[in-house]
């Protein structure tokens, strides 16, 4: 087994060295599925192996290494572009010092490019050519596991009694949350089954290839099977459920939604007061909505209220669906928007608000969508 591992590592190291000759700066994703090859692969790259964080923290140009440089642990910068006392920008500056001296640099990360938070200015990872480690060919696997499901993954084909479900969860856990949301849509919502790899965006497909979960076969991208597809679906579900750290865009999305809804409720209140004066509370809703609003308010803090007129602001007790219904009613005529604008608002904002309300993962474009509608709602107040 040791000889097979070393041979596989040598072959992949040779591929990376050739790519370094052409591109000078290469990004290699080497995660859980390739862990069994990691140590010999880094050795076979035949260069100075450094920890990326320590290298970025040391700004002394005199101590720059010579020859090929391999920077490991690059994933430490993924969450917010910071690690230790360094930043991804500092790492880029140090790497550029090497490149100025015609030194080839290999960036090795357990996480894909898409998992890294965006940084201002030129991005080191954008500058680097991506390299996906190939899966094991049948000849590289021990004869006894050669035809086993998933044996193309080094952790299975060259591992010792691997737990496939644990490996899938580990591999998926190294990917970006937005990769998980793409998988959630493609597999569970759109029900694409193992063809989902051709339905995700290119950066997600690249992340899956880097993780060994997809591979190019005869110029087509294919899912790497490790057994029945339901096992992979379960691993995706388990990994999504395990995400408990707030996404970086959560505060922007929640603040934007708060501003949007509070502004619409404010405009509705003002329109109701203008139309009905002191009687606006009892006139703003139809009876069905008024009864629902009163019931919610009494169940919370207004235990003695007998009508919506007893509430400080009945609009605060509307659900979003009820709010949209009232705003678009003949009485208020959409405020300053027509039915088309409200239709687009509902299609864009309601799903995002539902995801946030039920603590589901936000999708990649949610922050941009909310920002767009924040701008439109703010303009509504001046129209």
Q: Write down the domain spans for the chain.
A: 2-139, 163-241, 250-381
- The pLDDT score that the predictor gives to residue 62 is 63
- Both tokens of 233, joined, read 């679906």
CB-side neighbour CA atoms (13 Å) of 243:
22
- The pLDDT score that the predictor gives to residue 64 is 75
Question: Do residues 68 and 106 touch, judged by C-beta distance below 8 A?
Answer: yes
Q: What is the DSSP string of 33-65?
A: GGHHHHHHHHHHT-SEEEEHHHHHH---GGG--
- The pLDDT score that the predictor gives to residue 274 is 94
| 2-139 carries CATH number 1.20.930 | no
- The pLDDT score that the predictor gives to residue 381 is 83
Question: Do residues 184 and 112 touch, judged by C-beta distance below 8 A?
Answer: no
Question: Do residues 269 and 315 touch, judged by C-beta distance below 8 A?
Answer: yes
- The pLDDT score that the predictor gives to residue 349 is 97
- The pLDDT score that the predictor gives to residue 149 is 86
Angle (nearest 5°) at CA 165 between 159 and 169: 100
pLDDT per residue rounded down to tens, the chain (383 residues): 589 999 999 999 999 999 999 999 999 999 999 999 999 999 999 999 999 999 999 877 667 787 899 999 999 999 889 999 999 999 999 999 999 999 999 999 999 999 998 877 668 999 999 999 999 999 999 988 888 889 999 999 998 778 899 999 999 999 989 999 999 999 999 999 888 999 999 999 999 999 999 998 888 899 999 999 999 999 999 999 999 999 989 999 999 999 999 999 999 999 999 999 999 999 999 999 999 999 999 999 999 999 999 999 999 999 999 999 999 999 999 999 999 999 999 999 999 999 999 999 999 899 999 999 999 999 988 76
Query: What is the rounded distance in angstroms from the CA atom of residue 210 to the CA atom of residue 110?
Result: 9
Phi, psi for 221 (deg, rounded to 5): -85, 130
Q: Where are the alpha helices (DSSP H) in the chain?
A: 2-23, 35-44, 52-57, 88-100, 124-127, 154-157, 164-173, 177-183, 202-210, 229-241, 250-276, 280-283, 287-300, 320-327, 339-357, 366-381
Digit-coded pLDDT (tens) for 112-168? 999 998 877 668 999 999 999 999 999 999 988 888 889 999 999 998 778 899 999
- The pLDDT score that the predictor gives to residue 122 is 65
> Taking the chain, what is the end-to-end CA distance rounded to the nearest angstrom?
73
Closest CA to 329 of 278, 369, 279, 283: 283
Phi, psi for 175 (deg, rounded to 5): -85, 165
- The pLDDT score that the predictor gives to residue 162 is 80
How far CA 327 is from CA of 313, 334, 347, 383, in Å, comes to: 15, 5, 16, 16
Digit-coded pLDDT (tens) for 47-85? 999 999 999 998 776 677 878 999 999 999 998 899 999
Adjacent-strand bridge partners of 26: 106, 129
- Both tokens of 114, joined, read 């898409």
């Amino acid at each position: 087994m040791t000889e097979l591992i070393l041979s596989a590592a040598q072959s992949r190291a040779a591929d990376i060295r050739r790519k370094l000759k052409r591109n000078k700066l290469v990004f290699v994703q080497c995660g859980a599925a390739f862990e069994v090859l990691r140590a010999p692969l880094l050795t076979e790259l035949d260069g100075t192996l450094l920890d990326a964080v320590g290298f970025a923290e040391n700004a002394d140009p005199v101590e720059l290494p010579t020859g090929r440089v391999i920077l490991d642990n690059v994933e430490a910068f993924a969450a917010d572009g910071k690690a230790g006392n360094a930043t991804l920008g500092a790492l880029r500056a140090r790497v550029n010092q090497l490149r100025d001296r015609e030194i080839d640099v290999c960036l090795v990360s357990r996480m894909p490019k898409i998992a890294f938070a965006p940084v201002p200015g030129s991005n080191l990872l954008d500058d680097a050519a991506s390299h996906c480690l190939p899966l094991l060919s049948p000849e590289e696997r021990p004869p006894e596991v050669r035809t086993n499901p998933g044996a193309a993954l080094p952790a299975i084909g060259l591992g010792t009694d691997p737990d496939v479900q644990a490996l899938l969860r580990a591999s998926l856990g190294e990917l970006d949350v937005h990769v998980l949301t793409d998988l959630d849509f493609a597999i569970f919502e759109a029900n694409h089954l193992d063809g989902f790899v051709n339905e995700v965006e290119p950066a997600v497909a690249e992340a899956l290839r880097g993780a060994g979960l997809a591979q190019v076969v005869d110029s087509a991208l294919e899912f790497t099977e490790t057994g029945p597809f339901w096992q992979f679906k379960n691993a995706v579900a388990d990994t999504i459920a395990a995400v408990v750290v707030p996404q970086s865009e959560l505060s922007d999305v929640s603040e934007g939604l708060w501003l949007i809804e509070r502004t619409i409720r404010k405009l509705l209140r003002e329109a109701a007061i203008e139309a009905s004066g002191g009687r606006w509370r009892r006139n703003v809703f139809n009876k069905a909505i008024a009864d629902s609003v009163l019931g919610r308010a009494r169940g919370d803090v207004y235990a003695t209220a007998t009508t919506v007129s007893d509430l400080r602001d009945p609009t605060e007790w509307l659900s979003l669906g009820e709010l949209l219904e009232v705003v678009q009613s003949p009485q208020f005529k959409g405020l300053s928007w027509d039915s088309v604008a409200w239709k687009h608002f509902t299609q864009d904002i309601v799903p995002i608000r539902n995801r946030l309300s039920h603590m589901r993962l936000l999708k990649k474009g949610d922050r941009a969508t909310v920002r767009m509608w924040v701008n439109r709602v703010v303009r509504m107040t001046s129209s």
